[in-house]
């Protein structure tokens, strides 16, 4: 009997994503699977009931099932470099009551979503992998329970953007007619580039970007705080704890992400009438911060608001220390990556850097949302149990939002594009278990971004590398800010 495997997904640190539909017919399957595995230097074999693809000493087997009874349920990429994963399959026989719409197949009760992510390289790929691991773990949890409302399976289609707006637009156009909405749009430059497209196509996206600009957009299911608020909270927290007479300066990477943090820094300077020092901008390609740190030292800057890439943050700490200059760095969240900490530089991180971000403390199982995430990571993406990354908390929270949005569309009997936009505007408050900030999803024009952040200090000796200094901190600056 002819059988099929709906989708084989292989990811390696070098080869990004390989996706190949395969039809199996006995012994003829082996060459087809072998050709796919060979693209990433792996080997393959087939049996009567399974396929095996082996990569770097690890192997994973997939069950073979009749073609007529399988539909792809979850497209998956690995949360560990070099691991091999596959799409899960699901059997659906119940008749669907929801009308057919782009991305929703009532014959199989399958809801397809597009995930525009970045795991294949670049400055934010480590966070992108962790974010996807958290997201994927929750979606697998939902599908393992039968799907949304125990009935509707989610087929989350991963689309690698390489953190490149041009590639993101191309991937978006390839997928837009076959998805209900985009479950993730990763990175401020990507979100900026795709907003006009989403508006034109009447599609909804979930942004992984904390620019306050997105909160009132009807085509976005915005989530979390804002980079502007992180910068404002950083300034006011520092002045409150270190002394009001301290001089605060700014260092910004020349990207759309960087400029949002700079906006918050400048708002704080203007509102509090601070006597601020240099407000410098560096290119994304510049990883040597010797020159700007020399300027900050000469100006007598006590603290620097950092809206920078992780490599630039490390350079600022190391080159400053080499010149006898050790200011406090107030880190807008993407400026810190645990992977950038080494035994040599971690004392500088711990002494000088304060991190302002949304996720609750990693490993705090008294927090229901954190406990759920850890349980699901252990089951579906265990690499991040031993190698924690706070971005996984954000991804897990986003997946809970996605499920809530789908449930709202189902309750309205409408998964069309207009139906999903209506669902966003009427979603209300979604319970995230305390692991991530919540706010009410009502009329987008009246929606307010949360002003609260958690204040952390890096510590290489603890899980996820961050120790909570103060939870749920909101400055008067952030509370009063209107975009």
Q: What is the pLDDT of residues 24-47, one digit of tens each?
A: 333 334 444 344 434 333 333 333
pLDDT confidence of residue 297: 98
Q: For residue 361, give the nearest of 225, 475, 456, 439 by alpha carbon.
A: 456
pLDDT confidence of residue 483: 76
Q: CATH: 3.40.50.300, 3.30.530.20, 3.40.50.2300, 3.40.50.2020. Which one for 100-225+370-446?
A: 3.40.50.2300
Domain edges within the chain: 1-71, 100-225+370-446, 227-357+452-480
Query: What are φ and ψ of residue 41, in 5° steps?
Result: 75, 25
pLDDT confidence of residue 1: 36
Q: Residue range 95-99: average pLDDT?
A: 71
Higher pLDDT residue, 266 or 445?
266
pLDDT confidence of residue 102: 98
Q: How much is the mean pLDDT over the chain?
A: 84
Q: For residue 214, give the nearest of 235, 236, 198 by alpha carbon.
A: 198
Does 227-357+452-480 match 100-225+370-446 at the fold level?
Answer: yes
3-state secondary structure the chain: CCEEEEEEEEEECCCEEEEEEEEECHHHHHHHHHHHHHCCCCEEEECCCEEEEEECCEEEEEECEEHHHCEEEECCCCCCCCCECCCEEECCCCCCCCCCECCEECCCCEEEEEEEECCCCCCCHHHHHHHHHHHHHHHHHHHHCCCECCCEEEEEEEEECCCCHHHHHHHHHHHHHHCCCEEEEECHHHHHHHHHHHHHHCCCEEEECCCHHHCCCCCECCCCCCHHHHHHHHHHHHHHHHCCCCCEEEEEECCHHHHHHHHHHHHHHHHHCCCCCCEEEECCCCCCCHHHHHHHHHHCCCEEEEECCHHHHHHHHHHHHHCCCCCEEEEEHHHCCHHHCCCCCHHHHHHHEEEEECCCCCCCCCCHHHHHHHHHHHHHCCHHHHCCCCHHHHHHHHHHHHHHHHHHHHHCCCCCHHHHHHHHHCCECCCCCCCCCCCCECCHHHCCCCCCEEEEEECCCCHHHEEEEEEEECCHHHHHCCC
| Spatial separation of the C-alpha atoms in residues 245 and 265, rounded to whole Å | 17
**pLDDT above 70 (res 319):** yes
pLDDT confidence of residue 31: 42
pLDDT digits (tens, 9 = 90+) for 344-370: 999 999 999 999 999 999 999 999 999
**pLDDT above 70 (res 277):** yes
pLDDT confidence of residue 406: 98
Q: CATH: 3.40.50.620, 1.10.730.10, 3.40.50.2000, 3.40.50.2300. Which one for 227-357+452-480?
A: 3.40.50.2300
Q: Residue range 102-123: average pLDDT?
A: 96
**pLDDT above 90 (res 215):** yes
pLDDT digits (tens, 9 = 90+) for 231-273: 999 999 999 999 999 999 999 999 999 999 999 999 999 999 9
Name the least confident of 10-24, 168-182, 256-270.
Answer: 10-24
Q: Is the pTM of this model over 0.85?
A: no
**pLDDT above 50 (res 211):** yes
Q: Residue range 428-436: average pLDDT?
A: 95
**pLDDT above 50 (res 410):** yes
Name the least confident of 160-169, 316-325, 441-450.
Answer: 441-450
Q: For residue 456, give the nearest of 338, 340, 365 by alpha carbon.
A: 338
Q: Residue range 162-183: average pLDDT?
A: 98
**pLDDT above 90 (res 448):** no
Higher pLDDT residue, 331 or 48?
331
CB-based burial label for 338 (10 Å; 0-12, 13-18, 19+): buried
pLDDT band (50, 70, 90) for residue 463: confident
CB-based burial label for 445 (10 Å; 0-12, 13-18, 19+): exposed
pLDDT digits (tens, 9 = 90+) for 140-161: 999 999 999 999 999 999 999 9
Q: Residue range 159-173: average pLDDT?
A: 97
**pLDDT above 80 (res 387):** yes
Higher pLDDT residue, 326 or 439?
326
pLDDT confidence of residue 59: 34
pLDDT confidence of residue 439: 87
pLDDT confidence of residue 23: 29
**pLDDT above 80 (res 21):** no
Note the residue count of the chain: 483
| Spatial separation of the C-alpha atoms in residues 152 and 259, rounded to whole Å | 40
pLDDT confidence of residue 69: 29
Share of the chain above pLDDT 90, in %: 76
**pLDDT above 60 (res 227):** yes
């Amino acid at each position: 009997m002819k059988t099929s495997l709906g989708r084989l997904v292989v990811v390696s640190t070098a080869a990004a994503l390989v996706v190949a539909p395969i039809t199996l017919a006995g012994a003829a399957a082996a060459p087809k699977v072998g050709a796919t595995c060979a693209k990433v230097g792996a080997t393959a074999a087939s049996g009567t009931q399974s396929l095996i693809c082996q990569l770097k000493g690890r192997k994973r087997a997939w069950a073979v099932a009749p073609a007529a009874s399988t539909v792809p349920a979850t497209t998956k990429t690995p949360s560990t470099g070099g691991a091999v994963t596959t799409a899960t399959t699901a059997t659906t026989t119940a008749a669907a009551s929801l009308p057919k719409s782009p991305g929703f197949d009532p014959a199989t009760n399958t809801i397809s979503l597009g995930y525009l992510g970045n795991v294949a390289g670049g400055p934010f790929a480590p966070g992108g992998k962790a974010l996807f691991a958290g997201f994927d773990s929750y979606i697998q949890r939902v599908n393992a329970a039968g799907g949304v409302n125990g009935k509707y399976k989610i087929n989350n289609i991963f689309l690698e953007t390489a953190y490149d707006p041009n590639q993101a637009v191309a991937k978006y156009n390839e997928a837009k007619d076959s998805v209900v909405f985009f479950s993730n749009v990763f990175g401020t430059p990507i979100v900026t580039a795709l907003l006009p497209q989403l508006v034109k196509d009447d599609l909804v996206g979930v942004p992984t970007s904390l620019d306050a600009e997105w909160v009132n957009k009807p085509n976005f299911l915005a989530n979390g705080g804002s980079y502007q608020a992180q910068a404002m909270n950083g300034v006011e927290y520092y002045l409150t704890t270190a002394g009001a007479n301290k001089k605060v300066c700014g260092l910004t990477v020349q990207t759309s992400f960087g400029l949002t943090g700079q906006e918050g820094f400048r708002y704080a300077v203007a509102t509090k009438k601070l006597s601020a020092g240099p407000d410098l901008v560096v290119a994304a390609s510049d990883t040597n911060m010797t020159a700007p740190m020399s300027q900050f030292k000469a100006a007598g800057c006590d603290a620097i608001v950092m809206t920078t890439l992780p490599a630039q943050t490390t350079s600022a700490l190391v080159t400053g220390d080499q010149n006898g200059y050790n200011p406090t760095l107030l880190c807008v969240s993407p400026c810190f990556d645990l992977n950038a900490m080494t035994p040599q530089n971690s004392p500088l991180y711990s002494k000088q850097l304060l991190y302002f971000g949304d996720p609750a403390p990693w490993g705090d199982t008294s927090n229901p949302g954190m406990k759920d995430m850890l349980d699901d990571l252990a089951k579906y993406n265990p690499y991040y149990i031993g190698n924690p990354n706070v971005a996984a908390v954000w991804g897990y929270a986003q997946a809970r939002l996605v499920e809530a949005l789908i449930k709202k569309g189902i309750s309205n009997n409408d998964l069309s594009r207009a139906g999903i936009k209506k669902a966003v505007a009427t979603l209300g408050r979604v319970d995230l278990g305390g692991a991530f900030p919540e706010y009410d999803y009502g009329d987008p024009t009246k929606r307010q971004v949360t002003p609260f952040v958690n204040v952390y200090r890096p510590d290489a000796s603890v899980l996820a590398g961050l120790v909570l200094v103060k939870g749920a901190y909101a400055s008067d600056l952030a509370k009063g800010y209107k975009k």
